[in-house]
Chain A
Amino acid sequence: MAKFMAILLDSYLEIKARKFFWVYWAVTIVMILVFAFLPNLEIDGRNLLKSGDIPPEVVAMAVANFFNGFFGFMIFLMVFGSAGMIPAFVSKGRIELSLSKPIGRIKLMLMKFFSVYIIMSLIFMVACGLIFAVMSFQAETYTTYFFYGLGLELVRFFIVYAILFFLGIAFKSTAASIMGYFTIWFVTGLLAGREVVYQILTSKIWKTILDTIYNILPKFSDLSDDLISVLQGQGIADYYPLWSSLLFGIVALLLGLLIFNRRDY
């Protein structure tokens, strides 16, 4: 336990020393201020949120879309905040010291992975939780669906961070990790709309190739749709995008560990 606590402290201090940390809290504070004052704005002497003029399902959809976008933006910031953690940890002159401690390589790297994941998740939960609390207070409504959505986002961040972890170990470069991650993200976005592509590329081979790539890669776009459904209280209609994406994340994590275990430092 002492070993994990030491790595957790190291990861916390490293995250705290990054600009990301302060940008994250600045965004959170701005959003809190927005929700603290905006709902009090009145148009023609009527408070829009409290007047009852807007149907509840429209409010639910607006809230769901807001949190889908906001969660996405926070994860975007977390990609930049965490992408450099693994390349820095395995950098020459630093990793030798960690490897000289009585900790097996797999255990060491798993501890590093989970320490970063736990701290990032806590920051994410606190920031989003505060915004949700202010929003709920102002709207005088409260929904548990937000917490399900938050849980789903933590799963999405696990997949994102597992990809960054793998790329960080494989390329030992923050820039390569970020570029690699956004390439995957971009490709998955295109593949989500592959039905349109099939109308142009009618060959069966193309369909097989694109379907295979779609099935292998994480499905960020589908997860985004799932998140909106969850936030609206409709649940997840199809679990395939979730579990197949999670599987991709686990494979990326295992591959990263395998490379780290075999590599010379």
Chain B
Amino acid sequence: MNDSVIAIEVNGLSKVYKSGMKGRDVVALSDVSLSVNKGAIFGLLGPNGAGKTTLVKTLLGALHPTKGNALINGLGVDNPASRNGVGFLPENHRFPNYLTGGQMLRIFGGMADMSGSEIKGKANELLELVGMAKWRDTKIGKYSKGMMQRLGLAQALINDPDLIFLDEPTDGVDPVGRREIRDILKRLKEQGKTIFLNSHLLAEVEAVCDTVAILDKGKLIKTGPILELTRVSPTYQIETISLNLDAAENVKRAFPHAEMKNNNITVTFEEPRQLNKLIDILRDGHVEITAAIPVKVTLEDSFLQLLRGEVKHG
């Protein structure tokens, strides 16, 4: 393991597939560059077909890049040693259904160069962690989708990796399971693990990630801390009990863009202190204020704005 703070470095990575009989070029990734720091939970977002899985597969050596290069812990991804200390839960996996959960962990742990005794202890611990201990000796063919995701997560963690790639980890998992997986991810972050999370569930990414990148049609359109994308906007929603006509007219005069509906006022301020002015107007009109709520821009809002081109890419 190298001493650099960077776990993943991608430089001008492109992937072009040949499609159909005529060998038409399909650009899956176009000149993607990004870096992921050690210890971060990095979320890769994008609509279906954006190139998220292609990027993950390229980083893990399943796809050969057409152009550019990528490093994991300072080693080129064409070097198998770059995958030492790496865990992976693929999307749409088809785990061998002739294995039991316990056998699967034993086999994939062995393929990560772990000894039998190391695997045994770790497998027990992980099956407990993902709530699959009692299904250890049941054939995978009998598992539900959610159970397979849980086992897949245990498999991704079997070699105690420092870097974990998770491609749609909560796919098919019920809300309780999702919450549990989210808690596991947070615990892994506390342990200093780096997590590369590939998901189209924006709320999930918002809840756990500290840095995100957004891919669209193979191009990276935004990368940065999640706080930049989920900033608090200068828009407030003021909730009142008795918004009378006079007060409403005074508000409209002072803030022509204010929207009023069912005793609630939504207004975007040019500067924060204007909030006090609005409150003063309402108090003077004997309006009882119950709440003044800053409207937060969710990751979903930012994501959609970026995809529609409403926000400048950067």
Chain A: residues with CB nearer than 8 A to chain B? 2-3, 5-7, 9-10, 13-14, 16-17, 88, 91-105, 107, 262, 264-265
Contact = CB atoms under 8 A, between A and B. Distances in A.
Interface string B72-107: 000000001111101010101111101100010011
A91 B94 contact: yes
B108 A102 contact: no
A97 B88 contact: yes
B96 A94 contact: yes
A107 B17 CA distance: 26
26 contacts: A6-B107, A6-B108, A6-B109, A6-B110, A6-B111, A9-B107, A10-B96, A13-B103, A91-B94, A94-B96, A95-B62, A97-B93, A99-B60, A99-B61, A100-B60, A100-B86, A100-B88, A102-B83, A102-B112, A102-B113, A103-B80, A104-B80, A105-B61, A264-B17, A264-B62, A264-B64
A13 B99 contact: yes
A96 B112 CA distance: 14
B62 to A, nearest CB: 5
B241 interface: no
Which 3 A-B pairs have CB atoms at the shortest separation, nearest pair first? A6-B110, A93-B94, A17-B98
Contact of A101 (B95, B98, B103, B108): B108
Contacts, number: 95
A123 to B, nearest CB: 16
B114 interface: yes
Nearest to B63: A264
A264 to B, nearest CB: 5
B57 interface: yes
A103 B108 CA distance: 12
Interface residues of B, number: 36
Given A103-B80, A265-B62, A265-B63, A93 B90 contact: yes
A101 B112 contact: yes
Interface of B: 17, 57, 60-64, 80-84, 86, 88, 90, 92-96, 98-99, 103, 106-116, 155, 165
Nearest to B81: A102
Given A14-B98, A102-B81, A265-B63, A96 B93 contact: yes
Given A2-B115, A3-B110, A99 B96 contact: no
B258 to A, nearest CB: 53
A13 B100 CA distance: 10
A47 B155 CA distance: 62
B96 A6 contact: no
A94 B62 contact: no
B80 A102 contact: yes
B67 to A, nearest CB: 14
Given A14-B96, A264-B64, A2 B113 contact: yes
B23 to A, nearest CB: 14
Contacts of B106: 6, 9
B54 to A, nearest CB: 9
Nearest to B88: A100
Contact of B90 (A5, A88, A97, A101): A97
Contacts of A103: 80, 111
Nearest to A263: B64
Given A17-B98, A93-B92, A94-B94, A99 B62 contact: yes
Contacts of A3: 110-111, 113
Given A94-B95, A103-B80, 9 more contacts: A3-B111, A5-B110, A9-B106, A94-B96, A100-B165, A101-B112, A105-B61, A264-B63, A265-B62
